[in-house]
A and B are shown apart, each in its own frame.
Chain A
């Protein structure tokens, strides 16, 4: 930067926004369907990163390829968390699931500390370190992969929710739980699937995050902040809104950094989030 060329931070921000959206999609889905703010979401993303890291360091498996193993595991984990922890917590009170989510976050953080030590790790592959050029400008290829993955997962989730029986049932249960029950939808099972699908997106986010940035067992906390920012900007529950929210956040961050220096770029993001919360609390694209 410093060359006076604003195009570089703009494109970096858009590409980075794809990763932010990818991280936030699962949070948005779980909130949209069961009105649960999943405080463990960031740590579940990092769990996905470590899953890929483990497979890479022990079996020399490519991180993207390792999703073949990580996705089913995270799907199952999500279903179990919802069915055996969250659904019981929901029966107690509205706050109980929040506490459970917080507990899950702590367990994942500490398990990762024990298994992987607090050292910073990364999913470095031969291709993730390379760059591509757009005209005269150069960008890391990992940013492009993030953006593509964000778009693909967003579209897949949208299609799933609007075109399959299961997805429609999830959408119906989120719009009116009582009416969904009366239409013969087993909402407890549906919530399990919704949580499981959110965990699949977390697994994908974990892999692409790990190929872009180094991570530690406590990185989940800052990811949760980013995910919150994304859904606050985009509006909770809408997949397309979440994606646009991610891109907006990414662009605000990089353009802010361009004008005011990298030290203040996150500050500018938080200011924008506060402004949106004050002016349009349902998000730019929320209902």
Chain B
């Protein structure tokens, strides 16, 4: 893993109307790593991902990706630069086929050129999607739908993938499968920033993690260090 930073979030404040959801949040993502965001439901994890994706813009602070400022860019510009978010809640396009869902993933100009190549890779990660490619997306099982949203994100040809709560409501065997795929994806050189509720599992899988509480970063470090932290043990492992 290189020490080069691919994403830098610098002291951002983000509001939902008048409610401040993020307070002076800073975060660095290194190229090639698997980084986790941990926190309770309202801690601001999804808000942070949405701000990086450009769905929300910070009131103050700065975000840089690949040495270029992206703070005020629109979502489609950020996708084109190589940041793709896999949203929580398996937001497939329900009424079109699996194949069409994947094709929409490659909507941005750069990804269109690499469509064939990326489609092959995606089918290698998730062979079941090749079998089901003609099926209408909403007829897939929950696990398959989650595979589809990750695969759709990969079709955008990202350098950095933001993955929100992918294991929510899925069986352990499926979650294992998804984490296996994430490892493969990361081995291809794609950096991963993911959000999870399951802290124990997250710290097993991630290289490093940031812990958010009520919109603030309260702790960060390597997974092995965090596992030893008293604060983490008390709050998340009940020890």
Interface of A toward B, CB cutoff 8 Å: 162, 165, 168-169, 171-172, 175-176, 178-186, 287
Contact = CB atoms under 8 A, between A and B. Distances in A.
Contacts of B112: 165
B55 interface: yes
Contact of B85 (A182, A185, A186, A287): A182
Interface stretch (B25-33, B64-72, B73-81, B180-188): B73-81
Interface in B77-120: 79-80, 84-87, 91-96, 100, 103-105, 107-108, 111-112
B53 interface: yes
B190 interface: no
B75 A169 contact: no
Contacts of A171: 93, 95-96, 100
Contact of B105 (A176, A183, A186): A183
A165 B103 CA distance: 8
Task: Across the A-B interface, give the 9 residue pairs with the lowest CB-CB distance, nearest first.
Answer: A184-B79, A184-B108, A179-B91, A186-B76, A181-B75, A175-B93, A184-B76, A182-B85, A172-B104
A168 B100 contact: yes
A176 B87 CA distance: 11
A80 B186 CA distance: 44
Nearest to B53: A182
A162 B107 contact: no
B152 interface: yes
A186 B74 contact: yes
Contacts of A186: 74, 76
Contacts of B76: 181, 184-186
Nearest to B80: A184
Contacts of B103: 165, 168
B93 A172 contact: yes
A178 B55 contact: yes
B55 A175 contact: no
A183 B152 contact: yes
A171 B74 CA distance: 20
A179 B107 contact: no
Contact of A184 (B55, B95, B100, B107): B107
B38 interface: no
Contact of A168 (B75, B87, B96): B96
Nearest to A169: B107
B20 to A, nearest CB: 22
Nearest to B152: A183
Nearest to A161: B96
Nearest to B162: A182
Contacts of A183: 79, 84, 104-105, 107, 152, 156
Contacts of B100: 162, 168, 171
B95 A182 contact: no
Contacts of A165: 103, 107, 112
A182 B107 CA distance: 11
Contact of B96 (A172, A182, A185): A172
A181 B55 contact: yes
The interface centre, meaning the residue of B91, B94, B107, B152 with most chain A CB atoms within 10 A of its CB, is: B107
Contacts of B94: 175-176
A192 to B, nearest CB: 14
A180 B152 CA distance: 11
A182 B79 contact: yes
B65 to A, nearest CB: 14
Nearest to A186: B76
Contacts of B85: 182
Contacts of B111: 184
Contacts of A287: 95
Given A168-B100, A168-B104, A169-B107, A182 B93 contact: no
A184 B95 CA distance: 19
30 contacts: A162-B96, A165-B112, A168-B96, A168-B100, A168-B103, A169-B107, A171-B95, A171-B100, A172-B96, A175-B93, A175-B95, A176-B93, A178-B55, A179-B87, A179-B93, A181-B75, A181-B76, A182-B53, A182-B75, A182-B84, A182-B85, A182-B87, A183-B105, A183-B152, A183-B156, A184-B76, A184-B84, A184-B108, A184-B156, A185-B76
B87 A185 contact: no
Nearest to A171: B96
B55 A182 contact: yes
A184 B105 CA distance: 8
A179 B80 CA distance: 15
A178 B75 CA distance: 10
Contacts of A172: 93, 96, 104
